[in-house]
Amino acid sequence: MDITILKSTAQAMVAKGKGILAADESSKTIQKRFDKIGLKSTPETNISYRKMLFSTPQFEKYISGVILYDETIRQSIDGTPVPQYLQRKGVIAGIKVDRGVVDLPNFTGEKITEGLDSLRSRLEEYKAFGAKFAKWRAVITIGEGIPTDTCIEANAQNLAIYAAFCQEQSIVPIVEPEVLMDGDFDLEKCKEVSTKTLKKTFEKLRAHKVVLEGVILKPNMIISAKLSTTKASAKEIAKATVETFLEVVPKEVPGIVFLSGGQTPNQATENLYEINLIPGRRWQLSYSYGRALQDEAIISWAGKDENIKLAQGSFLARCKKVSLARQGKL
C-alpha cells in the first residue's frame, strides 16, 4: 500500500468541476441500453459505442475518471489500450470488480454482492492494465420488514474487505452502498435506511483498517422512491442528503460521487446543483453517473457512424451541465 498514491489519486478523482463517468455496464446491461436503438451488443459494437464517448473532444474538461468493465479494459481504441487511451487525455481509468448481486440466502427480497473470490489476483491484473481505482456496488432494498440488520452488515462487511484488497494494490476503492429507489417509501424512510447503511459501512471500513483519505464514497441521494405519493423537491432532497452525510460520513473522506439511481438526466443534474448550494460541506460533492450522462448520447448515436458528431455533442453538453451543477452554477 502506498498511501501517497491513494491520496493523490482520490483527490484527482474529485477535482473541482469534474466527475466520474460510469461506463462499466456488463454485457447484459449494455444490451438493455442498445435495445432502445435496435442494436445487438457484441464486443465490437460495445467498443464502438465507448470509442464514441471517449473520443469526444474536450470531455476531459468535465470527466476525471471512467469506470470500465472487464471486457473494455482489455480492448483498444485505434490501436491503443483503453486505459492508456484515456490516460493520454488526462482521464483516470478505473474498473468494476464486483460480479453482481445474488439473493441473500434465508432473507427473501434481499441481495448480497459477489466477487471477493480471486479479487486480489484480479486487482493485480487490472493494475497492470492501468487501473488506478475500482468500484464495488452493494444494493439495499427497502420493503416490508427489510432491510434487515443482517443484510446491511453483510454488505458493509464485503465493501470493507473489497476496499482493503484495493488499497493493498494502491488502487482507490469507490465504495458504493446503494439504497434502491424501488418502492413507495418517502424521503424520511430513505434517510433512515441510508443513515444506518452508511454508519455500518464506515464502522466496517475502520475495522478493516481502510485508509479513509484514499476512499471515494458513491452513495444514493436521499430521495423518495419511484412510486412514492409524496415526491420530494430538489431542495428537500439536497437538505436531507447533506444533513445525512454531515452526521455519518467522516471528514477524512476526500469526496462523494453520487450515483444517479434511475433519475432522469435533468433530475440528476438539478438535484446535484441544489446539493452544492448548501453550505457547511466537508467534502467535494461530485458525480459518478452512468445513464444520466449517456442516455441522450446513445439515442443520438443510434449505432450509426454518421451520427457520431451529433452524439458527442449531446454527451458533451450533458457533461458540461452536470459539471456546472457540481459547482453550484447551473
- Residues designated as active site: 176, 218
Rounded Cα–Cα distance for residues 13 and 6 (Å):
11
One-letter amino acid for residue 217 of the chain: L
Q: Give the residue carrying C-alpha cell 497492470.
A: 128
Please state whether beta strands 76-77 and 80-81 pair in parallel, antiparallel, or not at all (unpaired): antiparallel
Per-residue cell: 191: 434517510
In three-state secondary structure terms, 25 is coil
Rounded Cα–Cα distance for residues 78 and 253 (Å):
37
Angle among Cα 197, 198, 202 to the nearest 5 degrees reads 120
Give me the phi and psi of 112, to 5 degrees please.
-135, 145
Q: Where are the beta strands (DSSP E) in the chain?
A: 19-22, 63-68, 76-77, 80-81, 92-96, 101-103, 111-113, 133-140, 172-179, 216-217, 255-258, 284-289
Burial class from Cβ neighbours inside 10 Å (0-12, 13-18, 19+) for residue 28 reads exposed
Rounded Cα–Cα distance for residues 176 and 156 (Å):
10
Packed helices 27-35 and 43-54: angle between N→C axes, nearest 10 degrees: 80
Q: Say if residues 252 and 309 touch (Cβ distance below 8 Å).
A: no
Cβ contacts of 24 within 8 Å, gap of 6 or more: 67, 68, 69, 72, 95, 96, 135, 290
